[in-house]
Each structure stands twice: as structure tokens, then as C-alpha cells.
Amino acid sequence: MVLLNLYNCLQTYLVLGALLFGFGVYGLIVRRTIIGMLISSEFILAAASTNFMAFNRFLAPDPTIGQIFTLFIMAIAAAEASIAISIVIAVYRNYKSIDVEDLGDLQG
């Protein structure tokens, strides 16, 4: 019965979204490779999608609004992933590394 109460509670989804967002920010700060940073940014987008869907389920009068926002976030995440992977491949071909610290000569 306790699980039913957690399932029907907005705070449960907001805590899940906050955890995903925290993992994403932590990953962006700690990770040294571009692929790790890309995965962390996907966590941040998943947190935003979770919050949109939670607010949609519990607070919105029209249930399609949160779903539309989530679809836009998914499209942006897919485009971001494809562009980032192409950049990672191009950087690896030129520098033979995807470590962010090795790419210091890209500045300026």
C-alpha cells in the first residue's frame, strides 16, 4: 500500500527529477571525456522530461501539454547526441584522444 501512495504523489517524481539533474551536473563537473559529458547532459534532459510529465499528470488541465514538451525535449536530445557524436569522432581523428584536457589547443 505504501508504493501506491508514492506512485500517486508529485513529490516522488520531483525528487526523481532532482536526482537525475544532480547526477547530470555532477557528471558534467567530474567527467573528463566528451562522451561522459554527453551522457551527463542526457541525464539533465531526462530530469527536465520527468518534471514536465509529472507536472502534466498532476497539475495540468490539458494532458497533452506536458507530453508535447517531452517530445520536444526528446527531439532536442536526439539532435544533440548526433551532433556531439560527430564532433567526438572528428576530434578523435585529429587528436587521437577524447579527453577534454588534451583539447586545450582548440581554444582561441
Residue 99 φ/ψ, nearest 5 degrees: -75, 130
Task: Find, among 99, 101, 11, the residue nearest to 50 by Cα.
Answer: 11
Domain definitions of the chain by residue range = 2-101
pLDDT in tens, 32-68: 777 888 889 889 988 988 888 888 888 877 878 878 8
Q: Are 39 and 9 in contact (CB under 8 A)?
A: no
pTM of the model: 0.74
44 neighbors 38 (Cβ within 8 angstroms):
no
State pLDDT tens for residues 18-37: 999 999 999 999 987 778 88
At the second CATH level, the architecture of 2-101 is Orthogonal Bundle (1.10)
Q: What pLDDT, in 10s, does the model give residues 68-107?
A: 888 888 888 888 888 888 887 887 887 777 676 766 665 5
